Amino acid sequence: MSEKTHQHHDPVGRLEDARLTTGAGRFSSDWNLPGQLYGVFQRSDRAHAEIVSIDVSKARQHPGVKGVYTGEDAVRAGYVKQMHTLTFTGKNGMQTRAPQRPALAATKVQFVGEAVALVVADTAGAAQDAAELIEIEYRDLRPAIQPEEALGSGAPQLHEVAPGNLALELDAGNEAAVQTAFAGASHVVRLKMEVTRVAPNPMEPRACTAVHDVRDGSYTLYTCNQGITTLRKMLSAYTAVPEDLLHIVARDVGGGFGQRTPVYPEHCALMLAAKDTGKPVKWVSTRAEGLATDSHGRSNVIDGAMALDAQGHILGMRLDWVNDKGAYLAPGCVGHLRNTSTCMTGVYKIPALYATYRVAYTNTAPIGSFRGAGRPDIAYVVERLVDESAAQLKMDPAALRRLNFIPSDAFPYKTATGSTYDNGDFPGLFEKAIKLSDWKGFPKRRKQSEKNGKLRGIGIGAVIEGTGMGNAPKDDVELVLEKNGDITVHTQAKSQGQGHETTFAQIVSKALGIPLERVKIVQNALEKQHQLLGNHTGGSRSTVGAGSVCHLAALKLIETGRPLAALELAVEPSQVEYSGGVFTTRESKRKVKLSDLAKSKPLVVAAEGKFASTFPNGCHIAEVEIDPETGVTKIVSYSAVDDCGVVINHTIVEGQLHGGVAMGAGQIFGEQVVYDRDTGQLMTGSFSDYFMPRAGMVPAIRGAEHPTPSKVSPLGVKGVGESGCTGSIPAIANAMANALRPLGIGHLEMPLTPAKVWHAIHAARKGGHASK
Ligand code: MCN
């Protein structure tokens, strides 16, 4: 972000960058163990079929092959229960219908790319060659690809346990209140929307080397992840190997975006092979495997309606969701339900809310968490409805929002779906964004664009998201004052690029008043794996959770040091003061350095805490210019004001926002996982078909902070890791709608590719209907 208005810059460069930018990082495939073998998966080339037979005899005889494993082996080992998180009770007491998922498909394949066999050989090449010799006879079945169709009558059925392909049906909010609100409304605005399926595509592909120790039956997995506590729990549930026999090693992780939290069948299949061969077995995913089998994100269809009075006050909102979950419930699948009801009211005081959810199985890759995990989805839905309402009421969309914001004196604010927003100043933040974007000057700029033959639009995304709470029992860290006076802090959070080594160190160095360079953050150390239980990194919770506990641990160190210093100073502990790494007392000129307290033995303190959700919020305003001759759109201006509470590192926060905005822009303008509706073949199986956002898509962002310290965290922090995505998706979509509305073009579904935009413009100019 080169163009910015941040006033208070004290840039602290990222401590990890020296390593990461000089090739000294250590990623999963950098691990090589003596005697290791290589695994290659043979995957289903069809979306839905019964496995009639698998003949692996030729593969077994191939030179160099040390083992071939199929669904039979997975079932025999009992590796069939992938854990899921959809543990709510649904409508009328309905319980989630979750099929088993053998680590290798046993009787049926349910999506293109599903692992059917694992071949292990001396080299990856030999394993690949042998995999191609496996003969699989399938009986093809008609696939169910589109989620609404999958739920319809006559659709092909995926799982016996889930008739009608329905995994769960549930609701949230108050249906009667919404009915009353709609009955009394002057305006009802309806919009059906799709939040498309996208692929996370972190820079580092998935990889895992599994090792079995025959002496104690333990397994060590060298695998990229977002923190071991959740992964280990899920791995144990899948394999029934007790958690204390599962060790997980990762140093640097090249991006995660939610995709790396959970267990994957591949982890388990590699464990099988490692045990059987007695050798480490290494697998590195190809890009194509990643696109087909890394859990995808979003994929929701939402039928929405908003009720307003004559002045533009929002009276109620109803949303009917169809949540596509793909072929199986990925462990991280809960986000699209929980996070969409948590912030259903957005930043507005909407008195009546009601949502229904129908969770569908389809013959596609499972859907898991992906940056935002439902947060961008609900932000998009609310903000699109707000903008369409403003259009219908012929109101300025900024004016309509001003009428409806939750006022700044209303915190803590309990929403109609039961969340408690801790703190915020939505109107104040909004006005800052309006000013930053020069909202008033827009008509002039639009005219200028018109003169140049371009269509210009401006759009707002005023958004909020819940971050913080995790599924671990607590967040905890261990802080060690080393003999040389340095500080080592162990946490179970796991950076995949977020910069924790810097920000957590900043937290500790600030609390202790010592130089940053003296603090070292160590994540997921093998020797601490079974001692610390804190949350993995995800849900933008690490700063609120692990970060806050780093702060508490530092304060505890001071309290632990105080009586020791008092002894040396020969005073009562209450007379000892601490500042800047030094204990002093008024009674004498003597000082005791913190760094001297551990001279003979390291001083260890443990701290823990459990924190409620925080609610970062922001207002993003995008301005776009469309070339009607080509349908190509440029984001010409982007302003973002965010409230992530007290900011630890301004540069990192900006980077997080910038990355998130680019991801949102990618989804609006091109990213989409596409399956052929008839055959279920993956049409976007490589980067020549799957659109990845490019840096040039997002201009310099005009950013500003508007912090309201969170009451939940002792640091006053809120999360930020997903905010960019949550703000940009609605802001850019609304800007596009605003640019096209004068032509009579209604809602267009993302992705707004040049071809789609061009067709809509040309259809409108010819007086026809805009295509969806
Ligand atoms: N931060 C800060 N001040 C605040 C809040 C955060 O300085 N008030 C800093 C943090 O200390 C941290 C970073 O900003 O260095 C993000 O913090 P936080 O919001 O707590 O989020 P997490 O660390 O828990 O990261 C998870 C979040 C998620 S859920 C996704 S998805 C995501 C994201 O972070 N995936 C990422 N950002 C990513 N960034 C990179 N480079 N790669 C990913 O895979």
Share of the chain above pLDDT 90, in %: 94
> 588 — phi, psi (to 5°)?
-150, 170
Cβ of 48 closer than 6 Å to ligand 1, yes or no, is no
- Averaged pLDDT of the chain: 95
**pLDDT, tens digit, 9 for 90 and up, residues 499-535:** 999 999 999 999 999 999 999 999 999 999 999 999 9
Ligand 1 pocket check: which of 656, 715, 729 to mutate, most ligand atoms within 8 Å of Cβ?
Answer: 656
Which residue has the least CA distance to atom 33 on ligand 1?
721
- Give the three-state DSSP class for 323: strand
Which residue has the least CA distance to atom 16 on ligand 1?
721
Ligand 1 pocket check: which of 375, 494, 498 to mutate, most ligand atoms within 8 Å of Cβ?
Answer: 498
The separation between CA 320 and the C-alpha centre of its own chain, rounded to angstroms, equals: 23
Adjacent-strand bridge partners of 117: 42, 70
- How far apart, in Å, do the first and last CA atoms of the chain sit? 34
Judged against a pLDDT cut of 60, whether residue 329 lies above it is answered with: yes
**What is the average pLDDT across 17-24?**
94
Complete edge-to-edge strand list for the sheet that includes strand 475-481: 519-523, 487-491, 475-481, 603-609
Cβ of 717 closer than 6 Å to ligand 1, yes or no, is yes
Q: What pLDDT is attached to residue 152? A: 97
Q: What pLDDT is attached to residue 11? A: 67
Judged against a pLDDT cut of 90, whether residue 772 lies above it is answered with: no
**pLDDT, tens digit, 9 for 90 and up, residues 144-185:** 999 999 999 999 999 999 999 999 999 999 999 999 999 999
Distances (CA, A) of 439 to 370, 397, 623, 625, 635: 32, 11, 10, 15, 15
Q: What pLDDT is attached to residue 1? A: 38
Cβ of 272 closer than 6 Å to ligand 1, yes or no, is no
Q: What pLDDT is attached to residue 588? A: 85
**What is the average pLDDT across 385-394?**
98
**pLDDT, tens digit, 9 for 90 and up, residues 274-325:** 999 999 999 999 999 999 999 999 999 999 999 999 999 999 999 999 999 9
Q: What pLDDT is attached to residue 734? A: 98
pLDDT band for position 771 (cuts 50, 70, 90): very low
**What is the average pLDDT across 60-88?**
95
302 CA from centroid of ligand 1 (Å) = 28
Q: What pLDDT is attached to residue 663? A: 97
* Encoded tokens for 105: 């498909």
Which residue has the least CA distance to atom 13 on ligand 1?
498
Which residue has the least CA distance to atom 30 on ligand 1?
257
**pLDDT, tens digit, 9 for 90 and up, residues 220-244:** 999 999 999 999 999 999 999 999 9
**pLDDT, tens digit, 9 for 90 and up, residues 536-546:** 999 999 999 99
Cβ of 709 closer than 6 Å to ligand 1, yes or no, is no
Which residue has the least CA distance to atom 38 on ligand 1?
498
Planar angle of CA 167, 363, 86, nearest 5 degrees: 25
Judged against a pLDDT cut of 60, whether residue 2 lies above it is answered with: no
Q: What pLDDT is attached to residue 10? A: 59
The residues near 315 (Cβ < 8 Å, ≥ 6 apart) are 181, 182, 184, 185, 307, 308, 309, 350, 351, 352
The separation between CA 207 and the C-alpha centre of its own chain, rounded to angstroms, equals: 19
Nearest to 640 by CA among 442, 436, 380, 469: 436
State the pairing for strand pair 455-464/617-627: antiparallel
* Encoded tokens for 376: 């961008």
Complete edge-to-edge strand list for the sheet that includes strand 187-198: 166-173, 352-360, 314-324, 297-308, 187-198
336 CA from centroid of ligand 1 (Å) = 19
Cβ of 300 closer than 6 Å to ligand 1, yes or no, is no
- Distance, in Å, from the CA atom of 206 to the CA atom of 150, rounded to the nearest integer, reads 30
Which residue has the least CA distance to atom 12 on ligand 1?
498
Judged against a pLDDT cut of 50, whether residue 730 lies above it is answered with: yes
Judged against a pLDDT cut of 60, whether residue 3 lies above it is answered with: no
Q: What pLDDT is attached to residue 769? A: 52
Cβ of 720 closer than 6 Å to ligand 1, yes or no, is yes
pLDDT band for position 336 (cuts 50, 70, 90): confident
Neighbours of 686 (CB within 10 A): 12
Q: What is the DSSP string of 472-510?
A: SS-EEEEEEE-TTS-EEEEES---SSS-HHHHHHHHHHH
- Supply the pTM of this predicted model: 0.96
pLDDT band for position 620 (cuts 50, 70, 90): very high
Q: Which residue has the higher pLDDT, 586 or 558?
A: 558
Cβ of 46 closer than 6 Å to ligand 1, yes or no, is no
Q: What pLDDT is attached to residue 4? A: 44
Q: What pLDDT is attached to residue 455? A: 98
- What does R_g of the chain's alpha carbons equal in angstroms? 27
**pLDDT, tens digit, 9 for 90 and up, residues 438-452:** 999 999 999 999 999
- Distance, in Å, from the CA atom of 629 to the CA atom of 762, rounded to the nearest integer, reads 9
449 neighbors 455 (Cβ within 8 angstroms): yes
- Distance, in Å, from the CA atom of 458 to the CA atom of 454, rounded to the nearest integer, reads 13
> 585 — phi, psi (to 5°)?
-145, 145
Which residue has the least CA distance to atom 27 on ligand 1?
721
467 CA from centroid of ligand 1 (Å) = 11
Share of the chain above pLDDT 70, in %: 98
